[in-house]
Amino acid sequence: MEMEELFDSIEETLLDLLARVDDGDEKALEELKKFKKYMIDLADVLSIIGDDDTVEDFKKKLDILSKKFDEFLMDIVHVVG
């Protein structure tokens, strides 16, 4: 999926949720709250991309983050267990 398709899909989902909330759909309001959390998470991920980064640069950054997260999990295991 290309980025433009991703953002179009996000926009469609958001507009649908807002219309449902406007119609009084309580479930849509809960979905909108989850959607907000996902958008915050997506913004956090996208914030690590620099203007001059290539796909390879982004992959390297994700690999570093993955290793750091694995180390964090191992630290938790040592402390807890």
Residue 23's pLDDT is: 94
Average pLDDT rounded to a whole number, residues 47-75: 86
Closest by CA to 14, choosing from 38, 35, 44, 41, is: 35
Residue 80's pLDDT is: 67
The rounded percent of the chain whose pLDDT value lies above 90 is 23
Quote the CA–CA distance of 38 and 44 in Å, as a whole number: 10
Q: What is the total residue count of the chain? A: 81
Residue 18's pLDDT is: 93
pTM above 0.85, yes or no: no
Closest by CA to 60, choosing from 47, 48, 51, is: 48
Q: Is the pLDDT of residue 38 over 80?
A: yes
